[in-house]
Amino acid sequence: MKKRHEQKLIILSLILILCFNMPLLLIFDSATSVGGMPLVYVYFFSLWIFSVLISLLVIKRYYE
């Protein structure tokens, strides 16, 4: 894997660290629900699925 693709994954990791940080999680910690699920769960799992898909895209597309 080339250096710039490794850098993309590192940047993704840093963004995820910021997004999973407690102050951002507390913003979504409310009584509001989406489809019967609390908003914080929807935020957490959608961010997790997004990160998996982006990582998969970078690894599959640029694997050498």
CA atoms within 13 A on the CB side of 12: 19
What pLDDT was estimated at residue 34? Answer: 85
CA distance 12 to 29: 23
What pLDDT was estimated at residue 32? Answer: 80
- DSSP, collapsed to helix, strand or coil, labels residue 59 as helix
Taking a C-beta distance cutoff of 8 angstroms, is the pair 54, 16 a contact? no
pTM for the model? 0.77
CA-nearest of 23, 26, 21, 16 to 48 is: 16
Mind listing the pLDDT tens digit of every residue in the chain (64 residues)? Answer: 677 788 889 999 999 999 989 888 888 887 888 888 888 888 999 999 999 999 999 888 766 5
Q: Which residues, in sequence order, are bridge partners of residue 13?
A: none
What pLDDT was estimated at residue 64? Answer: 59
What pLDDT was estimated at residue 3? Answer: 77
